[in-house]
Structure 1
Amino acid sequence: MAKQSWLTIDGVVLLDKPVGLSSNTALQKVRRAYRAAKGGHTGTLDPLASGLLPLCLGEATKFSQMLLDADKAYVAHVRLGETTTTGDAEGEILVRSELRPTEANIDAVLPRFLGEIEQIPPMYSALKRDGKPLYEYARAGVELVRAPRQVRILSLVRGALDGQEFDLAVACSKGTYIRTLAEDIGAALGCGAHITALRRTRIGPFLIEGAVGLEALESDSALREAALKPVDLLAGHLPVVELDEDQCRRFAHGQSVTLPAFEPGEARIYRRERFLGLGRCEANGTLVPVRLVAERASSAQMLDVQENSPL
Structure 2
Amino acid sequence: MARKGRDVTGWLVIDKPAGPTSTAVVNKVRWALGAKKAGHAGTLDPEATGVLAVALGDATKTVPYITDALKAYAFTVRLGQATNTDDAEGEVIAESDLRPTDEQIKEALHAFVGDIMQVPPQFSAVKIDGERAYKRARDGEEMEIAARPLWVEELVMTGRPDADHVTLELTCGKGGYVRAIARDLGRALGCHGHVTKLRRIWSGPFDAADGLSLDDVERMAKSPELDAHIQPLEVGLADLPELKATPEGAARLRNGNPGMVFASDVEYGEEAWASYEGRAVAVGIYKAGELHPVRVFHG
TM-score by length of 1: 0.87
Counterpart of 1:207 in structure 2 is 207
CA contact (8 A) 2:128 2:145 kept: no
Counterpart secondary structure, 1:76? strand
Are residues 6 and 167 of structure 1, via their aligned partners in 2, closer, same or farther at CA, if it must alter by over 3 Å?
Answer: same
Distance 1:243 1:173 in 2: 31
Counterpart of 2:297 in structure 1 is 293
Distance 1:28 1:21 in 2: 11
Q: Deviations over 1:160-206 (max 9, x none)?
A: 21221121111112122111111111112221111111001121232
Counterpart of 1:193 in structure 2 is 193
Distance 2:253 2:4 in 1: 33
The question of 1:276 aligning with 2:254 is answered no
CA contact (8 A) 1:74 1:198 kept: yes
Identity over the aligned pairs, expressed in percent?
38
CA contact (8 A) 1:217 1:223 kept: no
Structure ranking higher on relative contact order (CA contacts 8 Å, 6+ apart): 1
Question: Which amino acid letter does the alignment assign opposite residue 277 of structure 1?
Answer: A
Are residues 192 and 278 of structure 1, via their aligned partners in 2, closer, same or farther at CA, if it must alter by over 3 Å?
Answer: same
Unmatched segments (≥5 aa) in structure 2: none
The question of 1:236 aligning with 2:244 is answered no
Question: Which amino acid letter does the alignment assign opposite residue 214 of structure 1?
Answer: L
CA contact (8 A) 2:66 2:236 kept: yes
Distance 2:241 2:106 in 1: 41
Counterpart of 1:169 in structure 2 is 169
Are residues 96 and 223 of structure 1, via their aligned partners in 2, closer, same or farther at CA, if it must alter by over 3 Å?
Answer: farther
Unmatched segments (≥5 aa) in structure 1: 296-311
Bigger Rg, which one: 1
Distance 2:130 2:50 in 1: 29
Question: Which amino acid letter does the alignment assign opposite residue 211 of structure 2?
Answer: A
Counterpart of 1:121 in structure 2 is 120
Are residues 241 and 142 of structure 1, via their aligned partners in 2, closer, same or farther at CA, if it must alter by over 3 Å?
Answer: same
Bigger mean CA offset, 47-56 vs 110-119: 110-119
CA contact (8 A) 1:123 1:143 kept: yes
Bigger mean CA offset, 89-98 vs 273-282: 273-282
Distance 2:218 2:146 in 1: 42
Counterpart of 1:256 in structure 2 is 258
Are residues 113 and 34 of structure 1, via their aligned partners in 2, closer, same or farther at CA, if it must alter by over 3 Å?
Answer: same
The within-5 A match list for 1:67-106 is: 67-106=66-105
Shift of 1:84: 0.8
Q: Deviations over 1:131-158 (max 9, x none)?
A: 2100111111111112222222221221
Distance 2:189 2:150 in 1: 21
CA contact (8 A) 1:117 1:151 kept: yes
Distance 2:145 2:275 in 1: 45
Are residues 259 and 88 of structure 1, via their aligned partners in 2, closer, same or farther at CA, if it must alter by over 3 Å?
Answer: closer
Superposed CA RMSD in Å reads 1.9
Counterpart secondary structure, 2:109? helix
CA contact (8 A) 1:216 1:223 kept: no
CA contact (8 A) 2:252 2:259 kept: yes
Shift of 1:222: 5.6
Question: Which amino acid letter does the alignment assign opposite residue 280 of structure 1?
Answer: I
Shift of 1:5: 6.4
CA contact (8 A) 2:205 2:235 kept: no
Shift of 1:89: 0.3
Shift of 1:260: 4.9
Distance 2:52 2:16 in 1: 6
TM-score by length of 2: 0.90
The within-5 A match list for 1:46-65 is: 46-65=45-64
Are residues 99 and 12 of structure 1, via their aligned partners in 2, closer, same or farther at CA, if it must alter by over 3 Å?
Answer: same
Shift of 1:117: 2.0
Shift of 1:55: 0.9
Bigger mean CA offset, 271-280 vs 42-51: 271-280
Counterpart secondary structure, 1:217? helix
Aligned length: 291
Are residues 213 and 288 of structure 1, via their aligned partners in 2, closer, same or farther at CA, if it must alter by over 3 Å?
Answer: same
CA contact (8 A) 1:218 1:224 kept: no
Shift of 1:46: 1.0
